[in-house]
Structure 1
Amino acid sequence: MSTFASSFWSADYAAGLGVLFDKLQQGVQENQQVLNIARLRADAEDLYGSKLADIVPATERMGSGFQRDDGASVRKAYEGVKTEMDAAAQSHRKIASNIRELVVNPFGRWCDQHSARVQTAQDDLQQRIKTHDRQADSVRKLRSQYYNKCRLVEDLEEEDKLAFQDPQSEVAQSSPKGKGKEVEVPTIKEPESEEEPEPIEIGEQYYKPEQVKKILTHMLETLKLGETKVPILGTYLNVSTGSDITEYIQAHLGATNVAAAEKIGQDLVEHGFLRLIGNVGNAFANSSRMNYQWKPKTFQLTGIPEKKKTPERSNTLGLDATDSPVGAVGEYLAGWNPLNNPYPNETPSERLRREARESDDRYKASIRKLDALRCNLEEAMVDRLKWMERCELDRLKAIKAVVLDFSGAIGNVIPSLQSTVDQMMLFQETIQPVGDLRYLLENYRTGNFVPRVQIYENYYNNIDGQTFGVDLEARARADRKRVPLIITTLLTYLDDHYPNLDGDEARRAIWLVDVPLAATHHLRAALNDGKPIARETLEKYEIPIVASALKLYLLELPDPIVSSHVYEIIKTIYSTTATDSQDSTRIAVIQNTLGTLRLANIATLDAISTHFTRLIELTSADETYISSLATNLAPCILRPRLETTLTMNERYAYRLLRDLFAHKDDIFGELKRASSVKLREQANTTPGATATQQRGRGFSTDDRSRREMEMERQAAIASATNRSRATSPAPGSARSIRRERSPHRMSGDAGTRFPVKVEGQTSPTHTDRRHTMSRNSLEVPGSFSVVSPTAAETPVAPPIETNGTGRGVELSDKPMDD
């Protein structure tokens, strides 16, 4: 039977919840109506008893009559009538008291608590939906800003390409002004000088430029270069004291005394390698108070990088403009930023690119926040809906108990009202809480659980960093595989762990376990990064959670594996064929329809069908399990483009999945050959991609070829229907699943299907989590709580020891280049 958690979903979340809570509020009103009936009946019984009690005192106020006749039989009859009337008054008062004690007071308190539970759940979910909607609006605004910035950057790049072209380029030659004859501009060529550079005199010795370079390089590496702050003028970098320079000259340049060292230092100043700062003039002296700055010429000659934290300044007068205080003040004012702009010297193009990057970062962060809010909202909805389903079932049971207590309060006092009590007991027996709950679900459900993921839409169609919610073909192209890596990895992981489970029943059950959505979202967050999945990550979770994550991935695809575009065609196939049709005719039409899907969809569908047909075969699954499995997986494989009240009750996806299980080899054998031919044709005929296609700004929306192919398929279906009128095998037929006998089964060795586990080893999925609890009719269900699992709380699967049987999934290991 459907449940609240799987029946009241809608695209905006609020519409489905609105229908459910409208029915729950209706139940609150029904509780008040039942309570009012009991309360008014108690008031009426109390009033009736009071009126009966007032009759006898009123007659006794008469002075004559039966008081004077003591022995007559009439008086005895009169006294008996009074006694019975008093007893009737007491009985009706007792009925009123019983109704208040057994029905009105306890049921009234329970009604108030139930109403508070419904209102609390409604307020909580409405607040979560409002938060989610506000974040969704913020995402749309940030996405628009990001796209606008990218367009501006793109336009600027196009303008730069056209504005700054080489006159000799093809574009310039193709312009009207460039079509004439090329004009040769006369140039004057100076004769190249072959003279060697003049030597430099330092300290009465001449050095070649190479020798000077080595000397200066050694000096810069040996001497201490520091900073010196000069009042008013600022701080100078790359400064050495006169005493340090003199000491170096004496130690390495052969100066015998201080005077010879000062002479060499003065030559360095005159040749432009040093300059005096903080004093007037350019004299070199052996003093620790005189500071000399190494000029840029020195760093250019030696190749050592120069520190340029602050501009160089000089206190000398009469020098060129670069060394004057006026130039230093100009440089200081150029760095003045009174508006605190963090990017003062930024060009317009740099500013646009920076703003595009910043808007992209804000858009990504907003998407991540929206995805977290959506997951939390869905988890809260599932938990709240399960909670409210138990509350509603208890409400119906409580009303049934109230009717029983109400009839008992009357029947225990007045036996003469037995016929009325019997009639009320009949009414009580007709109340069916489970049937009423099923009626609510069947008539008011709004849609199945299909999460709507808001993904990050890169301007250049880059999908790195995200896995869930991404188009199947785009994800496969990014993984360079026919089948996305997440599907092949999860299926292979499950194949490897099937042998470690305790029996075929546990292997089959992992796909039907009701896994908490919070646990599935916890694993989803660990896998949703667009990167290959590490096996250590999956080892932290139980096997059913891994299977649930795969189903959630398929549900979050923007378009299901079997595209919603062919839903009406699949519907036509199963609704127009008669019951006695040949399977080959129907399978041929299905094969033709699936052949129009993209190659990634076909390969993924083949991998999933292969996995489940092997599971059914190796575990000897019966018809009941196959039907339950197909029902559970049907929404993951095929969904209508727009879900309505009619499509919710259709089972065409279920019937398609049954045919895929039964005729997998017939369907996909021909599809694989057709796909290979199609790939070779595309490789031979596809021209080179244009620049816009290489950048990939969007997908083509031209669906004319698709409509033509749909018309051809409709004609093929009609012709097949005229030749043979039949349908697929009935869902209840156990012969609809074809089983291929493996060599192990033919040899009679049943143990080779899956390795037998060692005694004492337990299975992570074998724990029975169902607890049967009995509670009274007015008892409140277990307290509501939402628990988000963590990696530390999630049980870790035991070590894996496989000894055969597990095969990889077909078509999953082939790169797209093959």
Structure 2
Amino acid sequence: MSSFSNSFWSNDYAGGLGVLFGKLQQGVQENQQVLTICRMRADAEDLYGQKLDDITPATDRIAGGFSRDDGASVRKAYEGMRTEMGEAAKNHHKIASNIRELVVNPFGRWCEAHAQRVQNSQDDLQARIKVHDRQAETVRKLRSQYYNKCRLVEDLEEEDKLAFQDPLSEAAQSPKVKPTVVAKIPTIKEPEPEDEEEPIDLGDQMYQPEQVKKLLTHMLETIKLGETKVPILGTYLNVSTGADITEYIQTYMGAANVAYAEKVGQDLVDNGLLRLVGNVGSTFANSSKLNYQWRPKVFQITGIPEKKDQMKRVASLGIDGTDSPVTAVGELLSGWNPLNNPYPNETPGERLRREARESDERYKASVRKLDGLRCNLEEAMIDHLKFMERCELDRLKAIKAVILDFSGAISNVIPSLQSTVDNMMLFQETVQPIGDLRYLLENYQTGPFVPRVQVYENYYNSVDDQTYGVDLEARARADRKRVPLIVTTILMYLDNHYPDLDGDEARRAIWLVDVPLAAIHHLRNAINDGKVISHEVLDKYEIPIVASALKLYLLELPDSLVSAHLYEIVKTIYSTTAADTSEETRVSVIQSTLGQLRLANIATLDAITTHLTRLIELTSADESYITALATNLAPCVLRPKQETTLTMNERYNYRLLRDLFKHKDAIFGELKRASSQASRAQADPTRATPAAARPRGLSTDERGRQAAEQQKWQAITGHRSRASSPNPGANRMRRERSPNRMSGSAETRFPVSPSLHGHTNSGSLGSTGSGTPISSPTERRSTLTGNRGSLEVPGSAETSPVVETTSRPPNGSSIIAASENSYDATPALADGVEKRNSLGRSGRVPLRKPAAGGPGSLARQSIHGRSAMGGSAGVELSDRPMDD
């Protein structure tokens, strides 16, 4: 089921929150409607009871009548009617009292608290988004300034090359060049880019520079300007009282009260437009005794001449250029610079380079600040969204309880209203809080959680200082690997720590644990430096946090692992080949579609898929876990280019991931074979074939694109006459439990290389089909005939890359080395290592408490109970350097 924290996201963050808080405010209004019904019903019952109370006094005012007849039976009937009227009045008063005590008063207090909670969350998130947007605008401005400086430096370097050529060179001897031009050294004076004026906030509104100019001009023309004398200090010119400024703000700026007007005046002081004279401090107040002087900045903006004292001495000017009568001698001397140049003897080229470096540092620092604000905003959004989800569920439950209490307040008193009460009970039974919450999510969700990273864009295309948010191929080239180091390091770290967990359930659960975003961001900040990730850093965090950091890396990629350009093709595959095409044909089409990806994307997808399929097989995962795992990781593998209401309900990425789990060898085997042929063709051109020489990436030739489209459609539609595919349930990706697990043996082995060529490996934790544990690599190779390792490419030996198994190192693990011509970076399996049996322990993976000396709640506690063989042994992931 979806949740608030994964359903109300948008590119600008504010769009999704606007939809959510619109529905939450609608819920606040619904609370008031229910409360109004209960309150008015209580008033009606009270009024009805008062009218019934008036019946007995009205009959007593009539003289004679039944008071004169003592023994008649008619009088007894009359007195019974009077008594019933009194009892009815009491019952209706009791109904009104019950409704007020049980429903109106408690529910009214709860409604006020709920409305306050919603408003507080909305205000907090709006303030954070406002700060984030301001910083994003600052980043854009600094980026523009940085690029302009770099262009000026490049232009100056080109001009220097042309200006200082050797007179005897060919360019100097060209008849087209005049001798006078060669003799002169051109000097170009570049105008310094003027800083753009930034908008300012006055009260709750933001004023652009043009609006500020008009406002200040009108202020100077309307507000009375005078002068004031301060003892000892002297006379201040261009002074207005606080009362006059407050009156102007209330009259022309729409201030509702004096407090808001003082807030606007304080903003004028904080933005350097006013200053308090004759008193200590810089507080603005509505007082005729407080005087405020208009700064020279105001007269510069408006263009109005400033009134100055011509007899004032030069020494009395302030350091900042203001007309302060008294200035400290130290400040005056510290600001004295006769040359007015902090960088003497600096050439224009050196100045431009220095300014480029300074603008680069400002831009880089601004990007880091924006990244921190974005992370804090996303953490706050997820916290508030989870809290708002609980509040909305509580509101629906509260309305359900109100209807029940309301009906109980009536049914317990007046049996004659039983039909009405039954209807109301039926109404409250029809209220389904979970169903209403699901309806809200299905009809008003704006998109899943996909963070938008603002990366630092180096002018020279360098990505050495960052990992997250960088293009996958660019990151792989910087690491000189086919697969980025962050992917291989985390996968190898997880393989080495699987044996430390208690049972298969705990191993499977690390990919499904809902880790707090703050914990993931803490690890992200620790490894987001473009450097090699050490296992000492990862050891400080819980294993689910490490796995979630890999998922966050895939989510923050500029494009999904399977490019968004292929989303429509994948959609066509599953919408066209669902019923009328065999499974082999669909797998072939998927393989050819993935062949259009870049080599780094294919290698990374292969490494992740191999890791997960091995985990599924070794832990004997059932169908429900595979479904949950594919649903959780589907957005990390494939996302549409633009999220819409249609794509949010589509599950083509989930179906693609299921096929990758089920047919990994068939899909990636052909891709590996093609990669090996292409590598051999590059090494030996005489053996190159057309298939091996064809590039893998998307072609820019229109004719080649049309031919590829025709081949794709022929592959999709060419087998529609075949029978429907067999039951998919018969080929589920799971293994039978080993005899050790069935018998409850306390000793198991993990991990063991799964069979890749049809051999049944019936041991979940490392036993052979006969129940005998594999105790050595020799026995394992003899038992698993034909399975040469996880890096082997299916197919003949002529087209497969060479796979060699080296001797076992002292720690008991086997190292599998593959040819460097293959792009494969699949984790290599280690020998089996004994671990604790999972049958007697809980499979949950709790986030443990922080260890002493660790980074807060994210510290990873030391893991007890290592394998009996000692040391950590598991799957080792290796990657080769790139050849190109």
The structure showing larger relative contact order (alpha-carbon pairs under 8 Å, at least 6 residues apart) is 1
Deviation at 1:805, TM superposition (A): 6.6
Match for residue 535 of structure 2? Answer: 535
Q: Is 1:498–1:754's contact at 8 Å kept on the other side of the alignment?
A: no
SS at match of 1:168: coil
Matched, 1:790 2:855: yes
Aligned partner of 1:746 among 756, 769, 776:
769
* Contiguous gaps of at least 5 residues in structure 2: 180-335, 686-696, 736-754, 776-830, 849-853
1:112-123 pair list within 5 angstroms: 112-123=112-123
- Cα–Cα, structure 1 residues 96 and 514, in superposed 2: closer, same or farther, change >3 Å? same
Matched, 1:445 2:445: yes
- Cα–Cα, structure 1 residues 534 and 722, in superposed 2: closer, same or farther, change >3 Å? closer
SS at match of 1:608: helix
1:287-686 pair list within 5 angstroms: 337-338=337-338, 340-678=340-678
Distance in 2, Cα, partners of 1:163 & 1:641: 49
- Cα–Cα, structure 1 residues 75 and 713, in superposed 2: closer, same or farther, change >3 Å? farther
Greater C-alpha radius of gyration: 1
Q: Is 1:570–1:652's contact at 8 Å kept on the other side of the alignment?
A: yes
Distance in 2, Cα, partners of 1:424 & 1:177: 99
Using structure 2 for the length normalisation, give the TM-score: 0.67
Deviation at 1:734, TM superposition (A): 5.3
Matched, 1:733 2:729: yes
Q: Is 2:502–2:837's contact at 8 Å kept on the other side of the alignment?
A: no
Distance in 1, Cα, partners of 2:855 & 2:57: 77
C-alpha distance after superposition, 1:746-798 (max 9, x if no partner)? 3424698964435999999845589xxxxxxxxxxxxxxxxxx9346523242
C-alpha distance after superposition, 1:54-112 (max 9, x if no partner)? 12112211223222222222222211111110111111000000000000000111111
Distance in 2, Cα, partners of 1:376 & 1:709: 47
The number of equivalent residue pairs is: 626
C-alpha distance after superposition, 1:369-425 (max 9, x if no partner)? 011111111111111111111111111111111111001101111122222212211
Amino acid at match of 1:441: L
- Cα–Cα, structure 1 residues 729 and 764, in superposed 2: closer, same or farther, change >3 Å? same
SS at match of 2:768: helix
- Cα–Cα, structure 1 residues 730 and 348, in superposed 2: closer, same or farther, change >3 Å? farther
Deviation at 1:677, TM superposition (A): 4.2
- Cα–Cα, structure 1 residues 679 and 366, in superposed 2: closer, same or farther, change >3 Å? farther
Amino acid at match of 1:82: R
1:115-134 pair list within 5 angstroms: 115-134=115-134
C-alpha distance after superposition, 1:313-338 (max 9, x if no partner)? xxxxxxxxxxxxxxxxxxxxxxx942
Q: Is 2:519–2:858's contact at 8 Å kept on the other side of the alignment?
A: no
Deviation at 1:429, TM superposition (A): 1.1
Q: Is 2:597–2:698's contact at 8 Å kept on the other side of the alignment?
A: no
Q: Is 1:94–1:413's contact at 8 Å kept on the other side of the alignment?
A: yes
Match for residue 55 of structure 2? Answer: 55
Match for residue 813 of structure 1? Answer: 879
C-alpha distance after superposition, 1:469-503 (max 9, x if no partner)? 00000000000101000000000000100111111
Q: Is 1:139–1:363's contact at 8 Å kept on the other side of the alignment?
A: yes
Matched, 1:757 2:835: yes
- Cα–Cα, structure 1 residues 175 and 664, in superposed 2: closer, same or farther, change >3 Å? farther
Distance in 2, Cα, partners of 1:651 & 1:39: 48
Amino acid at match of 1:806: G
Coordinate RMSD, CA, aligned: 2.9
Match for residue 233 of structure 1? Answer: none
Distance in 2, Cα, partners of 1:558 & 1:419: 62
Q: Is 1:450–1:555's contact at 8 Å kept on the other side of the alignment?
A: yes
Distance in 1, Cα, partners of 2:628 & 2:872: 28
Q: Is 1:447–1:648's contact at 8 Å kept on the other side of the alignment?
A: yes
SS at match of 2:65: coil
- Cα–Cα, structure 1 residues 40 and 759, in superposed 2: closer, same or farther, change >3 Å? same
Match for residue 5 of structure 1? Answer: 5
C-alpha distance after superposition, 1:573-632 (max 9, x if no partner)? 111114252222111111111111111111111111111111111111111111111111
Match for residue 224 of structure 2? Answer: none
- Cα–Cα, structure 1 residues 148 and 177, in superposed 2: closer, same or farther, change >3 Å? closer
C-alpha distance after superposition, 1:270-322 (max 9, x if no partner)? xxxxxxxxxxxxxxxxxxxxxxxxxxxxxxxxxxxxxxxxxxxxxxxxxxxxx
Distance in 2, Cα, partners of 1:745 & 1:174: 84
SS at match of 2:366: helix
Distance in 2, Cα, partners of 1:166 & 1:762: 85
Match for residue 25 of structure 1? Answer: 25
Q: Is 2:582–2:725's contact at 8 Å kept on the other side of the alignment?
A: no
Distance in 2, Cα, partners of 1:728 & 1:130: 55
Distance in 2, Cα, partners of 1:731 & 1:483: 36
SS at match of 2:835: coil
Bigger Cα displacement from structure 2, 489-498 vs 616-625: 616-625
Distance in 1, Cα, partners of 2:152 & 2:840: 62
Amino acid at match of 2:709: Q
Distance in 2, Cα, partners of 1:420 & 1:475: 69
Amino acid at match of 2:619: T
Amino acid at match of 1:133: D
C-alpha distance after superposition, 1:193-231 (max 9, x if no partner)? xxxxxxxxxxxxxxxxxxxxxxxxxxxxxxxxxxxxxxx
Match for residue 234 of structure 1? Answer: none
Amino acid at match of 2:401: A
Distance in 1, Cα, partners of 2:153 & 2:727: 59
Matched, 1:714 2:709: yes
Amino acid at match of 1:20: L
SS at match of 1:338: coil
Match for residue 187 of structure 1? Answer: none
1:16-165 pair list within 5 angstroms: 16-165=16-165
Match for residue 689 of structure 2? Answer: none
Q: Counting helix residues as a fraction of each chain, which structure ranks higher?
A: 1
Distance in 1, Cα, partners of 2:108 & 2:384: 24
Distance in 2, Cα, partners of 1:50 & 1:575: 70
SS at match of 1:745: coil
C-alpha distance after superposition, 1:153-185 (max 9, x if no partner)? 011111111111112335445664599xxxxxx
SS at match of 1:733: helix
- Cα–Cα, structure 1 residues 728 and 817, in superposed 2: closer, same or farther, change >3 Å? farther
Deviation at 1:807, TM superposition (A): 2.5
C-alpha distance after superposition, 1:612-664 (max 9, x if no partner)? 11111111111111111111110000000001000011111111111111111
Distance in 2, Cα, partners of 1:386 & 1:525: 24
- Cα–Cα, structure 1 residues 169 and 766, in superposed 2: closer, same or farther, change >3 Å? farther
Q: Is 1:337–1:344's contact at 8 Å kept on the other side of the alignment?
A: no
- Cα–Cα, structure 1 residues 410 and 6, in superposed 2: closer, same or farther, change >3 Å? same
Identity of aligned residues (%): 71
SS at match of 1:757: strand
SS at match of 1:67: helix
Distance in 2, Cα, partners of 1:710 & 1:744: 50
Q: Is 2:142–2:363's contact at 8 Å kept on the other side of the alignment?
A: yes
Q: Is 1:466–1:530's contact at 8 Å kept on the other side of the alignment?
A: yes
SS at match of 1:38: helix
Distance in 2, Cα, partners of 1:792 & 1:516: 11
